[in-house]
Amino acid sequence: MADFGLKAPFAGSVVSQAIQTGEYAQTGTAIVRLVDTVNLEVSAQVPASLVQPIKKGTLIEVSGMGRSVMAPVRALVPVGDSINRTMELRISLKDTGFLVGTPVRVTLATAQPKEVVAVPRDALILRSNSQYIFVVDEDNVAHKQDVLLGYAEGEMIEVIGDVSSNATVIIRGGERLRDGQSVSWGEAEPKTTSEAG
């Protein structure tokens, strides 16, 4: 007896069935809807003005389900929407744990990358008329340093002021410090500022 079983082109989950067992089906008739739940793809309409630096393999931040991942661009459809002035960006989400149909947010850079001095958000002390951090010198003395705030990414935020990229800053307890006060730390290693792109 001939085997008329169907072989799926890829592993996945059957989410709907169009024809029941025993029904007649012509060539090309849809039998089931099969969804690949591992090799997902994001399709995003992005402003044409932001796609210039994007190419295949560029890592893009995708956020959803309470977390963020960096995922590679699979393709940029080189045809723009003349009305909305957008282009379609396709991003691969293989083995990321996202569920099919989950709404996600795609984050694109709006300017060319630059090097900045960034500190953990916890290092900032915010007052009604100022914002500052405490920088520790080689003699373990804390000095108040007024800063302006720039771009933020995750737990890090850009600080603009007289702060070097290798400065040691106070992350916790700064609210109780006075300018010029000596500080010490226990087993935890002191942390320095970092340069962020």
The CATH number linked to 148 is 2.40.420.20
Q: Which of 107, 127, 160 is the last residue of a domain?
A: 107
SS3 175: helix
Per the domain annotation, does 6 fall within a domain? no
Per the domain annotation, does 61 fall within a domain? yes
Q: Which of 82, 107, 132 is the last residue of a domain?
A: 107
Cβ pair 132, 146 in contact under 8 A: yes
For residue 35, give the nearest of 7, 20, 63, 16 by alpha carbon.
16
| pLDDT value at residue 31 | 81
**Cα 190–chain centre separation:** 27
β-bridge partners, 168: 136, 192
Same domain, 46 and 87: yes
Same domain, 128 and 186: yes
Over residues 64-82, the mean pLDDT reads 84
Least confident of 31-40, 61-70, 86-95: 31-40
pLDDT tens by residue, 129-165:
889 999 999 999 999 999 998 887 778 888 998 888 8
- Would you list the DSSP string of 105-123? EEE--SS----EEEEEGGG
141 CB contacts (<8 Å, ≥6 apart)? 180, 181, 182, 183
Q: How confident is the model at residue 196 (pLDDT cuts 50, 70, 90)?
A: very low
Same domain, 135 and 85: no
| pLDDT value at residue 107 | 85
The label of the residue with tokens 């989400």 reads 93
Q: State the total domains in the chain.
A: 2
Over residues 82-110, the mean pLDDT reads 83
| pLDDT value at residue 186 | 66
Determine how many CB atoms are found less than 10 A away from the CB of residue 163: 18
SS3 173: coil
Q: Which of 51, 78, 107 is the last residue of a domain?
A: 107
Domain assignment of residue 185, given as a range: 116-196
Q: How confident is the model at residue 192 (pLDDT cuts 50, 70, 90)?
A: low
pLDDT tens by residue, 19-42:
887 788 788 788 878 777 788 888
Judged against a pLDDT cut of 80, whether residue 70 lies above it is answered with yes
